[in-house]
A = this chain, B = another copy of it.
Amino acid sequence: MNLSQIELLRVLQETNLNLSRAAEKMHIVQSAVSRQLQLFEAELGSPLFERQGKKLIGLTALGLRIMEEVATINRAKNNIQMIAADYLDSNHGILHIATTHTQAKYFLPVPIRRFREKYPGVRIYMVQASPEQLIDQLHARKADIAICTEKVDEFADLVVEHCYEWHHALVVPQQHPLSVGEISLERLAEFSVLTYSFGYTGRSTIERAFKDTGLKLDITLAAADTDVIKTYVRLGMGVGLIARMAYDASVDQDLVVRDLTHLIPSSITKIAYLKHNYLPLYSQHFITELLLAGNAFQCKA
């Protein structure tokens, strides 16, 4: 048994059990891959893969169980390399952040600016995606840290830290009936609503609030980002249900923002990263920076 055989098993999973593509990924010829797999299976004494003719079509029970250990080994191997690199120089490296539009636009600018001041040598890559995709990015190790509000609690292999709590707010054009007076869910339900796509930015808490009262929301537009919502609110398509922090007093003066704290449960934006996975010092620092900024953000709101 050796580490390249362990690596091979990982790569095979990532290539749909295709030996040729696995060979490419590992920068060796296909016959070498074929042989190493045979050697490994021979050493263990039983096949790890189900075969149809010569093709690999799936894992055996044994293979399935062994893949768990393989994943552990690969994680630890990567960790060793990361730890050593970090020890040599913790001021350079790459930080992959995966997040949603709302966080990227309204929350991250401050912590990222502060982070860059402290670690100018670290390159930052940001990926914008849906919460499900963020988690996939983490699992595929294409992102180091994910920041979002939804979904992340459901995965046992993620470390999740609460960053800040926020509420939804209503935005309407000036003169709109909802721009004054008491707001209730009943009154809200009478209007066309523009809000986030399913699975984005606390949409689930909105659903919950309305489901609990038995009221039905009339969602005319569901967008992944707040700017689209604001745009169509300005066009008079309906009322906007957005994250409070996405209302920007300096550019949104033409819109009236109404507090909904009493109507819709709060949402919590979280930071998530893989368990058992070493994060360089600068990444750890970025997380504390996020938590700090989260605190400040929460107080402001």
Which A residues have a C-beta under 8 Å from some C-beta of B?
Answer: 1-3, 44-46, 61-62, 65-66, 69-70, 72-73, 75-77, 79-81, 83-85, 87-88
Contacts and interface: CB of A to CB of B under 8 A. Distances in A.
Interface of A, helix, strand, loop or mixed by DSSP? helix
A69 B44 contact: no
Given A77-B73, A80-B69, A85 B45 contact: yes
Q: Which 5 A-B pairs have the closest CB atoms?
A: A44-B84, A69-B76, A72-B76, A73-B76, A62-B87
B76 A76 contact: yes
A2 B1 contact: no
Contacts of A1: 3, 77, 80-81
Contact of A46 (B46, B79, B80, B87): B87
Given A45-B87, A69-B80, A69-B83, 7 more contacts: A44-B84, A46-B87, A62-B84, A62-B87, A69-B79, A73-B73, A73-B76
Nearest to A85: B45
Contacts of A62: 83-84, 87
Contacts of A44: 80-81, 84
B45 A66 contact: no
